Amino acid sequence: MNFAKDCKSTVIPALNYKDPAAAVKWLCRAFGFKEHAVFANPDGTVMHAQLSFGNGMVMIGPVVEGTPYSAMIRQPSDIGAETQSPCLIVSDCDAVYGMAKAAGAEMLLDIEDKDYGGRAFTCRDPEGHIWNVGTYDPWA
């Protein structure tokens, strides 16, 4: 079996936030994500969230100290850099740029037409995660 070819799943980035509830609200407001599912801890804090965008998704979780997984993960604010960055493919980059700016995104690479096609920008969210947003669709 060729798992990469035969699997009906997709790659889903998972990001941890110190305030996952605020991150869910910000990502929906800034980029247009929709809450697919949000699971709460007994105290009402967000334990896990699934945000959809078209046929894609990101998973959001809290920063939790003292677990085997947390020993492997650092936040951008911990190291002063990001080690990965999700790419969000949109149909109207200018509209999403306006939404992201209005939501307070820090623009790292301003919106521009790309030599390889499409239009794109790169920004940082309130907790330091970097997002690439553009119209170039590698599947098209």
Q: What is the pLDDT of residue 1?
A: 54
Copy the structure tokens of residue 93.
Answer: 């980059």
Q: What is the pLDDT of residue 4?
A: 60
Q: What is the pLDDT of residue 8?
A: 62
Copy the structure tokens of residue 125.
Answer: 């969210």
Largest CA distance in the chain: 50
Q: Where are the domains of the chain?
A: 10-64+82-134
> What pTM was computed for the model?
0.91
Q: What is the pLDDT of residue 3?
A: 57
**126/140 Cα distance (integer angstroms):** 32
Cβ contacts of 24 within 8 Å, gap of 6 or more: 35, 38, 46, 49, 51, 60
CATH architecture of 10-64+82-134: Roll (3.10)
Outline where the chain has alpha helix (H): 3-6, 20-31, 76-79, 93-102
| Spans of the chain below 70 pLDDT | 1-9
Q: What is the pLDDT of residue 10?
A: 78
